[in-house]
Amino acid sequence: MNSELSQQKVEISLNGVSMVFGKKGKQVTVLQDITFDVHRNEFICLLGPADCGKSTLLRLMADMLQPSSGQILIEKEHPREVRLRRKFGIVLQHPTLFEWRTVQENVELPLEVLGQNRSEYRSKVDQLLETVGLTKFKDYYPWQVSGGIQQRVAIARALSLDPPILFMDEPFSALDDFTKDKLQFELFEIKKKMNKTIVFVTDNLSEAVFLSDRIIVLTAKPGRVHSIHHVGLGEERTLHTRESDQFHLISTAIQTSLFQGQSHKDV
Ligand SMILES: Nc1ncnc2c1ncn2[C@@H]1O[C@H](COP(=O)(O)OP(=O)(O)OP(=O)(O)O)[C@@H](O)[C@H]1O
């Protein structure tokens, strides 16, 4: 571990986490003995081949599933406690917005459900819409805006209660390359501005390198931690980041890990 990282507070810790599903009368081990920490304000990507258990791992962290063995702690508590205190937000591949509510009303929904007073949260929501670049779309309905804008709405909604942690499951995979690049850049800026810890699932190497502080490379079935890579691109990401020597260097190293992780004999 580099010394800068060792000084940061551990926010999420996974210790020997395994997940076994029963499928057609058979037990299938999807994740095996997963151990790593996520530090406060870190951007971590879970990267691995299709079907290696990335989404399952994210769902375990978000208390949507319980591990078959091992332990997950967030701020030293069970994910359930943290979920009940609404200390994390979740963004999935498809934004699942309410079609009959405007962009602003979709973003406000979690605050409304909690019974908060609209006059008190309005200025906070306005600020959030500004941060994620949605101010000019706030009175539109989801069907009137593009897929990229819809996903921004889902991100803003996940941030509406100002949780310190964001779990994101392939949120940009359904978008075209141009929109994807734009949203990756914007997400990096949002993370910096709002000081969030982000755990992001992807099978896109370039996306993982562009966004992350560290990348956890998982092996093919069962998913295990093959290697953990410090990306080392610093605090600024620009249109030229992908052209840098460091970007190519780290991408090549991760590509090798992914390749090795496909074949368990090589791990
Ligand atoms: N509730 C469940 N019951 C049984 N099997 C499941 C369940 N959830 C996931 N699986 C299985 O776990 C395996 C891993 O799925 P998961 O979605 O976590 O992989 P992934 O790496 O995110 O895949 P992809 O990149 O293709 O989205 C799959 O074979 C899937 O069928």
Residue range 159-211, pLDDT digits in tens: 999 999 999 999 998 888 888 888 899 899 888 888 999 999 999 999 999 99
Mean pLDDT of 53-60: 96
Please name every residue paired with 73 in a beta bridge, in sequence order, or none if there are none. 13
Q: Which atom of ligand 1 is nearest to the CA of 23?
A: 4
CA-nearest residue for atom 1, ligand 1, is 21
Distance CA 33, CA 99 (A): 41
Q: Which atom of ligand 1 is nearest to the CA of 57?
A: 18
Q: Are the beta carbons of 69 and 17 closer than 8 angstroms?
A: yes
Q: Are the beta carbons of 62 and 83 closer than 8 angstroms?
A: yes
Q: Name the residue of 51, 170, 173, 199 to mutate for ligand 1: max ligand atoms within 8 A of Cβ.
A: 51
Largest CA distance in the chain: 60
Distance CA 258, CA 98 (A): 38
Q: What residues contact residue 152 under an 8 Å CB cut-off, 6+ apart? A: 132, 133, 134, 183, 186
What architecture (CATH level 2) is domain 3-87+163-266?
Answer: 3-Layer(aba) Sandwich (3.40)
Q: Please tell me the distance between residue 26's alpha carbon and the centre of ligand 1 in angstroms.
A: 15
At residue 171, φ and ψ (nearest 5 deg) are: -70, -20
Contacts 24+ apart (CB under 8 A), 122-128: 124/162, 125/160, 128/156, 128/159, 128/160
Q: Name the residue of 19, 29, 30, 57 to mutate for ligand 1: max ligand atoms within 8 A of Cβ.
A: 30
Q: Name the residue of 17, 18, 20, 21 to mutate for ligand 1: max ligand atoms within 8 A of Cβ.
A: 21
Q: Give tens-digit pLDDT for 93-119.
A: 888 899 999 999 999 999 998 888 888
ipTM value of the model?
0.96
Mean pLDDT of 68-91: 95
Q: Which atom of ligand 1 is nearest to the CA of 53?
A: 18
pLDDT at position 5 is: 62
Q: Give tens-digit pLDDT for 219-246.
A: 998 999 999 999 999 888 888 899 999 9
pLDDT at position 115 is: 86
Distance CA 13, CA 155 (A): 24
- What pTM does this model have? 0.92
* DSSP letters for 57-84: HHHHHTTSS--SEEEEEETTB-HHHHHH
Q: Please tell me the distance between residue 218's alpha carbon and the centre of ligand 1 in angstroms.
A: 14
Q: Among 197, 201, 185, which Cα is nearest to 152's?
A: 185
pLDDT at position 1 is: 54
Count the neighbouring beta carbons within 10 Å of the beta carbon of residue 146.
12
Q: Order of strands, edge to edge, in the sheet holding 214-218? A: 88-91, 165-169, 197-202, 43-47, 214-218, 225-230
Q: Please tell me the distance between residue 34's alpha carbon and the centre of ligand 1 in angstroms.
A: 16
Evaluate if residue 267 carries a pLDDT over 80. no
Distance CA 231, CA 215 (A): 7
Distance CA 60, CA 71 (A): 10
| Domain spans of the chain, in order of start | 3-87+163-266, 94-162
Q: Are strands 88-91 and 26-39 parallel, antiparallel or unpaired?
A: unpaired
Q: Please tell me the distance between residue 51's alpha carbon and the centre of ligand 1 in angstroms.
A: 6
Q: What residues flank ligand 1, with Cβ below 6 Å? A: 21, 23, 30, 48, 50-56, 203
